[in-house]
Amino acid sequence: MSFLEEIEKRRTFGIISHPDAGKTTLTEKLLLFGGAIQEAGAVKNNKIKKGATSDFMEIERQRGISVATSVLAFLYKDRKINILDTPGHKDFAEDTFRTLTAVDSVIVVIDVAKGVEEQTEKLVKVCRMRKIPMIVFINKLDREGKDAFDLLDEVEQKLNLKVTPLSFPIGMGYDFKGIYNIWEKKLNIFSGDNKQTISEGIEFKDVNHPELDKIVGEKAANTLREELELIYEVYPEFDQKKYIAGDQQPVFFGSALNNFGVKELLDCFIDIAPNPQPKMSNTRLVDSKENKLSGFVFKIHANMDPKHRDRLAFVKIVSGTFKRNTPYLHVRLGKKVKFSSPNAFFAEKKQIVDESFPGDIVGLHDTGNFKIGDTLTEGEQMNFKGIPSFSPEHFRYVNNADPMKAKQLYKGLDQLMDEGVAQLFTLDMNGRRIIGTVGALQYEVIQYRLEHEYGAKCTYENISVHKACWVQPEDEKNEEFKEFKRVKQRYLAKDKQGQMVFLADSPFTIQMTQSKYPTVKLHFTSEFE
């Protein structure tokens, strides 16, 4: 198969939502349809509840939430699908924001009863900013929920999207009869007995045909006809160009737990979703069809397998072909590196691949050479943009609880911070370490992983910090900057990259500092021009 055909085959997308909207269940059902797994993790087998396939970290199984992005790949109808299942919980939002730099499109999952929730709004805002094509999947139709048209309005207003339904429910909750697939003009009838069976759609081009009354009942058939008429009048026809440009969002309805509406979503997705897209670097726009390799690290995961202390750097291939045992330039370090066992993923199962193409996610074994945002090329000096560290919202001193294990603690902290789980700041004045996180739940995850993966224990101590501001002086030699350093020395620290950070205790302090030292710029992300 030629290089261009390989690119055409690929679809790389992320699934985003508020926690509990059914994102991990949807991921799993997509895998079920793709033949990648034989049964769903939600099935109670021998009274032991299996964890969902994509939640493979021990703490995720205990909590029932996804805390790290999983990468899953499978083949479906001769397409290579790469899914990035992201954490929905807001405490892990930074992982999700970074993952959105590696996808070409997104599926937004919305709970039919709860509608649009806060975390969904934040994530969709990031997608809109980056013009990522989005498909909306309204989930849990087997439960009582909001009216379908009300939900479509809510999605348009709260998320600022222009929607067009490509499937529509027949009833809801107890009255849920099935779904009319507008995209394929098919009817899918719901039977909720066996959550494992996959119902085939009935070809149904003309909804006015009396046969519809026999299948779903006269009342439901008439309601469907009226609603479809309204859809054709109110909503624009689907336009693939607008969808790919991020200006139109198709909507599907279904129940992921009951395998319902998922196949329709997947069949339409592989037809309309974009193949690997060009990506902007700091020097130029890189087209996915270029022959020379380029790619970037968007995630690092330590201890994928606790028995073997391995770190994996997840690289999204942007252009060219990634070949095993071929030297590539690590741009930041300025040295050539080659990889004898690059991995492709199926949740925690990994297999070695000889070559990978644009759109693919490759896992590279890493001994500490990689940081998030690093770029690999065939020699060109460039970096891909848009993978910053955000200013954390929670700050705590970290103390060593077992003096005999200081080495393990520092190694563990070092590796977990490289993963982007949290950020580490070291105070200039006394060398004390401060951990900053986006959400408080991260502290538990860090404590748990330090103990179980590195054999180290830590305790935390509160510190009054409102925000971490990265410092950028106009001129390091001028008096104003020297005075700033003298006056603020107690609050100055270095991040892991050695950049200077000012730990401000209140918004007022930031305001006063900016007016008093106008030549010292303060930034809330670590990446600034």
Q: Phi and psi for 212 in degrees, rounded to 5? A: -60, -40
Pick the CATH number of 394-523 from 3.90.1210.10, 3.40.50.720, 1.20.1250.20, 3.30.70.3280: 3.30.70.3280
Mean pLDDT of the chain: 80
On the question of pLDDT at 135 being above 90, the answer is: yes
Query: What is the pLDDT confidence band of residue 68, given thresholds at 50, 70 and 90?
Result: very low
Residue range 72-82: average pLDDT? 83
pLDDT value at residue 294: 92
CATH 3.30.70.3280 segments of the chain: 394-523
More confident residue, 120 or 396: 396
- Angle made by CA atoms 377, 379, 384, in degrees to the nearest 5: 40
pLDDT tens by residue, 326-354: 999 998 888 898 888 887 765 446 678 88
Comparing CA positions, the residue from 50, 57, 20 lying closest to residue 446 is 57
pLDDT tens by residue, 224-269: 888 888 888 889 999 999 999 889 999 999 888 877 888 888 888 9
E strand or H helix that includes residue 222: helix 218-234
Residue range 123-134: average pLDDT? 85
Bridge partners of residue 525, in order along the sequence: 390
Kindly state the tokens that stand for 474.
């106009």
Q: Kindly give, in sequence order, each residue whose CB lies less than 8 Å from that of residue 218, ignoring residues fewer than 6 positions away.
A: none
pLDDT value at residue 163: 92
pLDDT value at residue 428: 92
CATH topology of domain 279-377: Rossmann fold (3.40.50)
The domain 3-74+87-272 belongs to what CATH superfamily? P-loop containing nucleotide triphosphate hydrolases (3.40.50.300)
CATH 3.40.50.300 segments of the chain: 3-74+87-272, 279-377
On the question of pLDDT at 65 being above 60, the answer is: no
Q: 500 by DSSP, 3-state: which?
A: strand
- CB of 202 closer than 8 Å to CB of 220: no
Most confident of 56-60, 182-186, 468-472: 468-472
Comparing CA positions, the residue from 362, 364, 357 lying closest to residue 79 is 357
Kindly state the tokens that stand for 218.
């006269």
Q: What percent of the chain has pLDDT over 90?
A: 20
